[in-house]
Amino acid sequence: MKATHPAWRYRLAITSRALAATAGGYALAAAFTAALSLALALAMPRVEAVLTATMLAWLVYAGAAGWAFYARTAWGAWGGTLLPALLLGAGAMAPRWLEQLQ
């Protein structure tokens, strides 16, 4: 029996999910680290805040990689990794942007 989708479309979808898992997961982990470091620096020394945020970012990266293959579509995989990364990145950059406005 012939497959309903061409093989190249399936391979492209898997490749897109793999890129969402690696690149999108990296972006999400980096943004999470930056935002959490700034938040934790209010309650602990900066070095400990950065180390704690970096260690927790590995869990976020693993979750993003799992999400990329759990999502129904490749677009959902990209949206599930890049949208939170953009929000966290904006949250991390907000103090600097507000400082420049003053």
pLDDT, one tens digit per residue, over 29-74 is 999 999 999 999 999 999 999 999 999 999 999 999 999 999 999 9
Report yes or no on 69 lying in a domain.
yes
Q: Is residue 79 part of a domain?
A: yes
pLDDT of residue 9: 87
Q: Does the residue 70 lie in any domain?
A: yes
User: Is residue 53 within 8 Å of residue 33, measured between CB atoms?
Assistant: yes
Domain that holds residue 58: 17-101
Residue 1 domain-assigned (yes or no): no
Percent of the chain residues past pLDDT 70, beyond the cut? 95
3-state secondary structure of 96: helix
pTM of the model: 0.87
pLDDT at 2: 63
Residue from 10, 22, 31, 34 nearest 67 by CA: 22
Question: Considering only CA atoms, which of 98, 93, 81 is closest in space to residue 37?
Answer: 93
| 4 in any annotated domain | no
**5 in a structural domain:** no
Q: What total of structural domains would you count in the chain? A: 1
Is residue 9, in this structure, part of any structural domain at all?
Answer: no
Instruction: Please tell me the predicted confidence (pLDDT) of residue 6.
Output: 80
